[in-house]
Structure 1
Amino acid sequence: MSTWSDNPFPDDIPLSSVKLAGENLGGGGQAHTVERLSDRPGWVAKLYKAPMTPAEAVTLGRLVALPHSMTEADLETLDRSAAWPVSRITDGDRTVGVVMAEAPARFYVPFNLRGGRRSGPRELQLDHLVKDSAYLTDIGVRPPTRQRRLEIACRFLELGAVLERHDVVYGDWSYRNALWDQDSDSVYLLDMDSCGIGTRSWIASPDWSDPAFPEGTPLTVPTDRYRMALLTLRCITGARGEPLENLSRLERDWPAGDTFPGLLRQALDRGDLRNRPRTATLLKALRSPGGNGAQTDVTPGSNVTGFRPVRHRPAEKTAGGTARTAEPRTRGPAPQPAATTAPGPGSRPSPAGDRKGAGQFIGCCIALALLALVVVLFILWA
């Protein structure tokens, strides 16, 4: 996997030195072509339809250099989860393209086609994640478990938090640019060369429009907060459509007392932009549920639409007429960074349970002492 940290390029390289492999991997938007570099495996060159303006070229130069000022943890997240620009491609005094890492192979999978055929490897996009399990099974992709959806959402939030800490405005959160891996919680974000710092020009993003930013309005960090919240909601629920309607369904099913749904609602609020929580705050709330968030209940095999508190169920009758108690399904621990050894919120000890266990232990000790006394008295009497 190629990353910004191990890139072999200077900040600027002349177009004449760029050796293209001759296979167009994609275009559209501002790109004329995207091609692999024949002499640098794992790297691609994106050539623009028109040279950048001087202001755009300056911003791209700042993006190329930005990781130098990041903490080790932020840089690790960036390397793992983003095709960050590593070098401007210049033609004289004009910036005509950019070099970036190619998305790792694990984000590409073959799809089932009609007639029993299989496609070649294709991007596994957020577009596929926001679908139901039946659709994913039909195209040959393993539907994510509820825990996987939470982990994927956390990974996107991790990256969004890094961008926000460095005042980077991505803006282009969409179904197409965000990739995920069906075998792990890995995510990958494309088209990072178009980011702004502090602000960026408005970009059309159908079904992701922030109502607080009308068409043509320059985008800022609050828009990224809105779109990150929307992406998180869709990752977890697998549902498209009206965000607030989907959020209302999630709120009804989410554990009472947990702060996460309320923070999501704040982030999706079209009112005072200052009330939109930071992406890092949203990440912390999802990773460490509060209140009753430790236990949840989701119907197996469902397209996850939220998380319900586990409730005690009445005893059910077996075929023989005897009673049995239904065993509740529980949510696993909230996703944690790989290095941590702390228990997830799903495994937090219950103070009430601790007191009950202590009482049982003391009771056993008293019973054993009484039994020993009886034995001693019996021996003396004999």
Structure 2
Amino acid sequence: MTTARKALASVAQLSGLGTFGAPIARDEGESLSIRPLTDHPGLLFKEYRPDICVAGADKRIDRLIALPRRLSQKDRTALAASSCWPVSRVVDGDRTVGVLLPLAPKKYFSSLRLATGPSDPKPLAVDWLAKPSDKQRQRGLPGMTFNQRLTVCRDLTSVAAILEAENVVYGDWSYSNAFWSRSDYRGYLIDVDTCAFDSRPWVRTPNWEDPLTPQGIPVDKKTDCYRLALLVARCLTGERDLMNARRKVVLISRREGRPDVGEILARTLTAASRAARPTIGDIHSTMNRPQGGAAATVSITTVSKNIASWRDVSHVQTKLKRPAPAGRPAPSRITAQKQAPTPGASHSASRASTPPSSALPSERDMTIGCITLFVLFAIVVALLVIFL
């Protein structure tokens, strides 16, 4: 695969690519087809629809292809391992017709258990990560734990943080645009070739809409931040519903000893303004903290139905008090001092000599009782006089 990449220029003629294998996809998204290159194993030719190759597309694609060369070795390694970064722009004459992309490693392919038997191995989309563990096991997948889900999501936030730092907008975070490995719990982002610099045209994406990005307004890295946080929250909890994912990611993260993860995702999803959102880099850094290190304490305050706000209270020191037993009010400080036994006296003697005040009737109670008895006696006498 390395030899194939070195043999191809950043702009390759379609006629020089040799033969192609059978299409692995047709008419999906912006592509007419995706086919493997027979003469260059490990590479795919993604043929674009004509409307994708608009004015300026050539420069955009060339900038994406060249971007890894000016990154650090660490970032280049992350992009190569966790994304299908475009290798070459393919032209037919002087017209752009598509790109060459690396084929996802085999570990991202898996068969699923169906009623008719195991399916053919296919890329395992994060669609199956964003489901409860019992649903995963029903299809023959491992029931993913929180830490395993977190490992997958770290790879996705790693790529996203690099894009954000380079002002590259992905714009299409969804269940179908990333894969995960059931063997080592890694993540892999696809369709990176459609990224744009600074912003991308707004496209309707049901269930992924950013409430702070109005319809028709170009999407940018702040929109990416919201959609990525939503995808991660859904993958960590297995919850598809926005409200449930937002609520449960805080509770589950706290239970698993990572309250900082739930807190920063919740702040991203509930921020009152785009400027108040954390960055993708902040999210990625938080997710990569070691467990038990520099974690925030999360306080949840319900502000309206199904909506919660989060406040960092890690700086507040509190002293926990044991609650009073059910049915018995906790004694006040003064009462406790009055009822304390005399030093040196036995427990039984102290209890006998100092009965609880509630056990002795007050003078007022005795007066009311006497009056009540007198009234009842008078009524009985009157009845006897009338009937006898």
TM, length-normalised to structure 1? 0.71
- 1:119/1:245 CA distance change after superposition, 3 Å: closer
Deviation at 1:248, TM superposition (A): 2.4
Computing the radius of gyration from Cα coordinates, the structure with the larger value is 2
| 1:82 maps to 2:83 | yes
Deviation at 1:270, TM superposition (A): 5.6
- 1:33/1:114 CA distance change after superposition, 3 Å: same
Equivalence for 2:317: none
Equivalence for 2:140: 140
- 1:71/1:4 CA distance change after superposition, 3 Å: farther
Deviation at 1:90, TM superposition (A): 0.8
Equivalence for 1:110: 111
Across the aligned residues of Structure 1 and Structure 2, the Cα RMSD in angstroms comes to 2.5
Equivalence for 2:70: 69
Equivalence for 1:184: 184
Work out whether residues 107 and 181 of structure 1, in 8 Å CA contact, stay in contact via their aligned partners in 2.
yes
Higher deviation after alignment, 123-132 or 10-19: 10-19
Higher deviation after alignment, 281-290 or 47-56: 281-290
Q: How many residues align?
A: 292
Deviation at 1:250, TM superposition (A): 3.2
Q: What one-letter code is carried by the residue in structure 2 that aligns with 1:18? A: L
Q: What one-letter code is carried by the residue in structure 2 that aligns with 1:15? A: L
| 1:99 maps to 2:100 | yes
Unaligned runs of 5+ in 1: 294-382
- 1:138/1:270 CA distance change after superposition, 3 Å: same
* SS of structure 1 residue aligned to 2:218: coil
How far, CA to CA, are the matches of 2:258 and 2:133 in structure 1? 29
Work out whether residues 164 and 280 of structure 2, in 8 Å CA contact, stay in contact via their aligned partners in 1.
yes
Unaligned runs of 5+ in 2: 298-388
- 1:21/1:5 CA distance change after superposition, 3 Å: closer
1:22-33 to 2 correspondences below 5 Å: 22-27=21-26, 28-33=28-33
TM, length-normalised to structure 2? 0.70
- 1:54/1:225 CA distance change after superposition, 3 Å: same
Deviations 1:239-284 (A, max 9, x none): 1112x44222333454399443332233223632122111121122
- 1:271/1:3 CA distance change after superposition, 3 Å: farther
- 1:79/1:5 CA distance change after superposition, 3 Å: farther
How far, CA to CA, are the matches of 2:3 and 2:57 in structure 1? 20
How far, CA to CA, are the matches of 2:47 and 2:268 in structure 1? 35
Work out whether residues 107 and 123 of structure 1, in 8 Å CA contact, stay in contact via their aligned partners in 2.
yes
Q: What one-letter code is carried by the residue in structure 2 that aligns with 1:165? A: A
Work out whether residues 253 and 260 of structure 2, in 8 Å CA contact, stay in contact via their aligned partners in 1.
no
How far, CA to CA, are the matches of 1:216 and 1:142 in structure 2? 41
Work out whether residues 4 and 85 of structure 1, in 8 Å CA contact, stay in contact via their aligned partners in 2.
no
How far, CA to CA, are the matches of 2:274 and 2:151 in structure 1? 27
How far, CA to CA, are the matches of 1:81 and 1:49 in structure 2? 26
Work out whether residues 152 and 187 of structure 1, in 8 Å CA contact, stay in contact via their aligned partners in 2.
yes
Work out whether residues 3 and 80 of structure 1, in 8 Å CA contact, stay in contact via their aligned partners in 2.
no
Deviation at 1:20, TM superposition (A): 3.8
* SS of structure 2 residue aligned to 1:10: coil
How far, CA to CA, are the matches of 1:89 and 1:239 in structure 2? 40
Work out whether residues 213 and 219 of structure 1, in 8 Å CA contact, stay in contact via their aligned partners in 2.
yes
Deviation at 1:7, TM superposition (A): 4.7
Deviation at 1:133, TM superposition (A): 1.7
- 1:177/1:212 CA distance change after superposition, 3 Å: same
1:117-266 to 2 correspondences below 5 Å: 117-242=117-242, 244-255=243-254, 258-266=259-267
Higher deviation after alignment, 208-217 or 161-170: 208-217
How far, CA to CA, are the matches of 2:69 and 2:3 in structure 1? 10
* SS of structure 1 residue aligned to 2:20: strand
Deviations 1:220-244 (A, max 9, x none): 11011111111221121111112x4
Q: What one-letter code is carried by the residue in structure 1 that aligns with 2:41? A: P
Equivalence for 1:290: 294
Work out whether residues 212 and 273 of structure 2, in 8 Å CA contact, stay in contact via their aligned partners in 1.
no
How far, CA to CA, are the matches of 2:211 and 2:113 in structure 1? 37
Q: What one-letter code is carried by the residue in structure 2 that aligns with 1:99? A: L
Work out whether residues 87 and 100 of structure 2, in 8 Å CA contact, stay in contact via their aligned partners in 1.
yes
Equivalence for 1:44: 44
Higher deviation after alignment, 188-197 or 17-26: 17-26
Equivalence for 2:305: none
